[in-house]
Amino acid sequence: MTQREFMLDLPLSPVPKHEVLDTGAAVLRGHAAMQATDMLAGIKQIARLSPFRRMTTAGGGMMSVAMTCCGAAGWCSDARGHRYETHDPMTGQSWPALPTAWRAWATDAARLAGYDGFAPDTCLINGYRPGARMGLHQDDDERTDAPVVSVSFGLPAMFQWGGLQRTDPVRRIPLLHGDVVVWGGLSRLVFHGIAALRAGQHPVTGPCRYNLTFRRVW
């Protein structure tokens, strides 16, 4: 049972570096619940090849979220900044393949949210433990003509959805196991993040939250 629960509209003001038309993010409550078992098993497989690791940011800080990737491109950050890499710097190998079934599923989820023809070439996998957080940022490293499809599993998290300026007011949206958020166009440049994860126990993931984001990089 899928539904677009709500649309978040943005102010039409400053238009940064990209030409854009649409302005919202859609939340599909529980849309990935049926995929949980399969996707979590897939994550385990992927992590055997490219383990979860905590990356460093340009400022020298260490991220609290543990990450890995699959697909043609992997998001990497170190003291020099962040970019996409074709190979996992930790192993020297290509990133694990993006499972075919995941790709098809993400295409469908994007379509439900109003984005036809989404063909992701990567999936970033984030692992959250209690206290882990994702600071406010924009998704401006990928192709701007494709949406981002974000899937949540495990412990609840508080999604922060701000505006085009870092200092814009932030809306807080709880994301639960199986929830999917889709955004594209102008909303790629909306500052967003995840508040520090509250400790807890989830029947499927235990003390963790996992987030998958499907993207088109190349």
Partner DNA sequence: TAGTTACA
Partner DNA sequence: GAGC
Q: Residues within the annotated binding site for Fe cation?
A: 137, 139, 192
User: CB atoms < 10 A from the CB of 82, how many?
Assistant: 15
Among 49, 97, 112, 136, binds DNA (CB under 7 A): 136
Q: Please state the φ and ψ torsions of residue 150, each to the nearest 5 degrees.
A: -115, 130
- The answer to whether 167 contacts DNA (rule: CB under 7 A) is yes
Q: Which of 193, 195, 202, 204 binds DNA (CB under 7 A)?
A: 193
Q: Which two tokens stand for residue 22?
A: 């649409």
Q: Are 195 and 161 in contact (CB under 8 A)?
A: no
Q: Interface with DNA includes 57 (CB under 7 A)?
A: yes
Q: How many CB atoms lie within 10 A of CB 57?
A: 14
Task: Choose which of 141, 158, 200, 204 interacts with DNA (CB under 7 A).
Answer: 141
Classify each residue of 199-215 as buried b or exposed e, where b means 16 or more C-beta atoms within 10 Å of its C-beta: eeeeeebeebbbbbbbb
Q: Among residues 3, 6, 119, 166, which is the contact residue for DNA, using CB under 7 A? A: 166
Using rule CB under 7 A, residue 130 touches DNA: no
To the nearest whole angstrom, how small is the minimum distance from the Cβ of residue 188 to DNA? Answer: 10
Comparison of 101 and 174: residue with beta carbon closer to DNA: 174
Instruction: Tell whether residue 104 is a contact of DNA (CB under 7 A).
Output: no
Residue 134 interacting with DNA (CB under 7 A): yes
Q: Which lies closer to DNA via its Cβ, residue 67 or residue 100?
A: 67
Q: Give the angle 47-60-92 at the CA atoms, nearest 5°.
A: 35
The answer to whether residue 138 forms part of the interface with DNA (CB under 7 A) is: yes
**116, 169, 172, 203: residue in contact with DNA (rule CB under 7 A):** 169
Q: Are 96 and 147 in contact (CB under 8 A)?
A: no
